[in-house]
Chains A and B, each alone.
Chain A
């Protein structure tokens, strides 16, 4: 299964749209969602649902895009309800969820390499100020790649604790996870150097 935030292969129109168009559409879509009157938010949600269906994203994978927001959304809902009113709280949370859903749709239908091409093209003019667009692109790619890597390391460390019969306290997992992530970063650095990434000057 494709984890949240990773490309889901397909041949739909949304998959075939150029990455630049999708990123511009995402910026426009989020702006619209932010400015929309709260009465229209459910309709916007319906529209985004139709886009997910048009991209043939399985419902479970669509939900996976917004599931990580669950606890934050609950916290925000309660906070907003206490500070303002429940209608305002619902609209703030809905706006957040719709924005993340839109971003999820773009990442699910766009290869990371296509997004890197756009980012590198956009940052190209900054080259004269010493910015390396290819490096920025690489950092973004590694950030995306880091999601399953860190999740995998955390899973392994949790399993190791369980195998020894320990209860898994978050603080006990944190240190070995950080150590292993740093080790992985070291190895990845070697692999990038071996592939000549450092030579691209």
Chain B
């Protein structure tokens, strides 16, 4: 269960989130809103990347402010720009990077890396320079780097925004098939059709919390 309780947060002078309260435990939750509506700040609350100025956030009972380390082990985060998530020069090393401090034997790390790359269509990519991958492959790599640590939940902040239609659909289908709980921040409203619940943000406030069809209709109305 994610509990966001009366959370407000400022980014400089701007009130990014204004008294947001919501609880959810559904498998697929979508978050939509205009640029600057607070949805990315909301996403960052969920794995403790942002600690709110006021209010509290808990993930399965863990406080993101006091138990950030445990929360981040539980909640993986995928950013919009996959380039900014690549740390190591080759694909295999980048996926293994998240397990360097896990205490797992090297053979087990190699096995997990090979397995996750295989599941996402990147088998045989271990030695490829990560920066030479296509946009879609880079986002797949970003997903692998997060999923190799086996988080219970995944927060994706506009993971398809920089991708072409084919890659966006491919990433969307992969996300939909994940066993992990998923919180997806997106502008691609079609991706949310099968979701359990959709939250709509506007000017830092949670203005709609409903099933996808109603939430998307409200959002369209809100945007004029």
Chain A interface residue count, Cβ-Cβ cutoff 8 angstroms: 29
A2 with B129: CB separation less than 8 A: yes
Whether the pair B47, A184 counts as a contact (CB closer than 8 A) is no
Q: Does A200 contact B (CB under 8 A)?
A: yes
Q: How far is the CB of A34 from chain B (nearest CB, A)?
A: 29
Interface centre among B88, B96, B146 (most CB of A within 10 A): B88
Closest B residue to A191 by beta carbon equals: B85
B16-24, B72-80, B212-220: which one contacts chain A? B72-80
Most buried by A among B85, B89, B100, B145: B89
Is there a chain B Cβ closer than 8 Å to A50's Cβ?
A: no
Partner of B73, one of A7, A188, A196: A196
Residue count of chain B within 8 Å CB distance of chain A = 31
Q: Decide yes or no whether B86 CB sits under 8 A from chain A.
A: yes
With A112-B89, A144-B89, A194-B79 as contacts: A187 and B84 at CB distance below 8 Å:
yes
**Contacts A2-B129, A9-B127, A145-B86 hold; do A195 and B93 have CB atoms under 8 A apart?**
no
| Chain B interface, DSSP helix/strand/loop, else mixed | mixed
| A142 close to chain B: CB less than 8 A | yes
Does any Cβ of A come within 8 Å of B150's Cβ? no
Among B86, B97, B149, max chain A CB count under 10 A is at B97
> In the complex, are the beta carbons of B98 and A191 less than 8 A apart?
no
A37 at the interface (CB under 8 A from B): no
Answer whether residue B87 sits at the interface, using C-beta atoms and an 8 A cutoff: yes
Contact B49 A113 (CB under 8 A): no
A52–B69 alpha-carbon span in the complex (Å): 45
Let me know if B101 is at the binding interface, CB within 8 A. Answer: yes
Which residues of A have CB within 8 Å of B89? 6-7, 112, 141, 144-145, 148
User: A152 and B131 in contact (CB under 8 A), knowing A187-B81, A194-B79, A195-B146?
Assistant: yes
Chain B residue at smallest Cβ distance from A114: B93
Is A111 in contact with chain B by the CB < 8 A criterion? Answer: yes
Chain B residues near A134 (CB-CB < 8 A): 100-101
Interface contact B86-A196, CB-CB below 8 Å: no
Report 7 cross-chain contacts, Cβ distance below 8 Å, ordered by A residue.
A138-B87, A141-B89, A145-B88, A148-B89, A196-B73, A199-B69, A200-B101
Residues of B within 8 A of A (CB): 44, 47, 49, 68-69, 72-73, 76-77, 79, 81, 83-90, 93, 96-98, 100-101, 127, 129, 131, 145-146, 149
